Amino acid sequence: MNRIYLDNAATTKLHEEVLNEMMPYLTDNFGNASSVHSFGRDARLGIDKARDRIAKALGASSAEIYFTSGGTEADNWALKGIAEAYSAKGKHIITSAIEHHAVLHTCAYLEKRGFRVTYLPVDEKGKINLDELKNAICDDTILISIMFANNEIGTIQPIEEIGAIAREKDVIFHTDAVQAVGNVKIYLKDSNIDLLSLSGHKIHGPKGVVSLYIRKCVKIAPFMHGGAHERNRRAGTENTAGIVGLGKALEIAAAGINAKTAALVKQRDKLIDTLLEQIPESILNGDRVDRLPGNVNICYKYIEGASLLINLDMKGIAASSGSACTSGSLDPSHVLLAIGLDHGTAHGSLRLSLGEDISDEDIDYVIKTIKETVQKLREWSPLFAAKEGGIKNV
């Protein structure tokens, strides 16, 4: 059976060129980058090159790029590190209701340690309101953390405007750009972003390695304590092969961003338009325009997203409902509830996140299969039967 992978927001396949670049650091160049001998120096050169590549791709300076073990660690470090470093200035943090749990659960942790957190609501498209952001800023606000693009519904926030507000009020601005980097052009020198989390495994790089951009003038407390790695800011022997892979993956993604975006947007829009047109009682989640190029998120009324996923998987289509981190849970997604959906509707969500290797024939097969599967599940659904006034085909 032809398998079609539509879960690129969860993770992506390693790019062949990335693997080739990593391979020497998994074999002959296995040294510890802190060692003074030639094995160590080779590893250090690989890490330095990756740092330069990431800085170039993002319009930052190499000294502003730090490596961590994942998006979760980068977000934890950004929030806890800023909270600790600026706690004498204030104890108020602003975020949004639809952040990834890596941010939301870190905020909950900080609340238990005496910080105040404002969770900005979002509108039905998933965007924060800039006036509400301005009004939420107090004298003791030290940090605004708003994600660049949402991992479930794909909505892209007005990052430039948020950054301008933060800068005007002298508040540090962190953005979780794990889903945006490689999909949306980002040039940090011209931005008001002070910290930015980016991930490699969402852009055909390896898992377990991430970069946190920290603007030069920003103070941050270390999160991992130990050796003097990463200029005394993040202790632990570097994952050399992973870092090399992340650098290469971002270089490839940045070079091909225009072509990738154009191709994904075309397929995304065909999926959205056709699925909405051909399947009644379906709702598009997220903003139609300010949206990640590869994101489709639709709720189908009267059915369970989980049943839809299993049925699609049996037909070779790998998709997701909600985010990968929460899809094992029976609770509806906090993002879908925050945009105003009721529990029943939120349970019927399907996220398709496209990648570069999907053909137009694949898209046609996906449309046909979703249509047939939704129809079949609705025929079995007591909720749908009640709505139609009788049970059918059971």
Shortest Cβ 387–ligand PLP spacing (Å): 35
Count of residues that interact with ligand PLP, criterion CB under 6 A: 12
Residue 171, phi then psi, degrees to nearest 5: -115, 140
Active site residues: 325
Burial of 6 from C-beta contacts in 10 A (0-12 / 13-18 / 19+): buried
Contacts with 241 (C-beta within 8 Å, 6 or more apart), sequence order: 22, 23, 25, 26, 206
**Residue with the two structure tokens 């709505």:** 387
Residue 249 β-bridge partners: none
Within 114-153, which residues bind ligand PLP (CB under 6 A)? 147, 151
| Cα separation, 104 vs 358, whole angstroms | 33
DSSP 2: -
Residue 238 vs 362, nearer CB to ligand PLP: 238
Within 166-195, which residues bind ligand PLP (CB under 6 A)? 176, 178-179
Q: Is 317 left (phi over 0), alpha (psi -120 to 50) or beta?
A: beta
118 in helix, strand or coil? strand
In the bound complex, which residue of the shown chain has the CB atom lying closest to ligand PLP?
A: 71
Shortest Cβ 289–ligand PLP spacing (Å): 20
Are the CB atoms for 43 and 25 separated by under 8 Å?
Answer: yes
Residue 44 vs 234, nearer CB to ligand PLP: 234
First-residue to last-residue Cα distance in the chain: 29
Residue 291 vs 301, nearer CB to ligand PLP: 291
Q: x/- contact string, 69-108, with ligand PLP (CB under 6 A)?
A: -xxx--x------------------------x-x------
Shortest Cβ 265–ligand PLP spacing (Å): 20
Shortest Cβ 187–ligand PLP spacing (Å): 20
Residue 156 vs 279, nearer CB to ligand PLP: 156
* Strands 116-120 and 210-214, sheet pairing: unpaired
| Cα separation, 178 vs 382, whole angstroms | 39
392 in helix, strand or coil? coil
The torsion of the CA quartet 229, 234, 236, 238, rounded to 10 degrees, works out to -70
Residue 358 near ligand PLP by CB under 6 A: no
Residue 199 near ligand PLP by CB under 6 A: yes
DSSP 359: -
Residue 72 vs 157, nearer CB to ligand PLP: 72
Residue 292 near ligand PLP by CB under 6 A: no
Residue 137 vs 209, nearer CB to ligand PLP: 209
Shortest Cβ 350–ligand PLP spacing (Å): 17
Residue ranges in contact with ligand PLP by CB under 6 A: 70-72, 75, 100, 102, 147, 151, 176, 178-179, 199
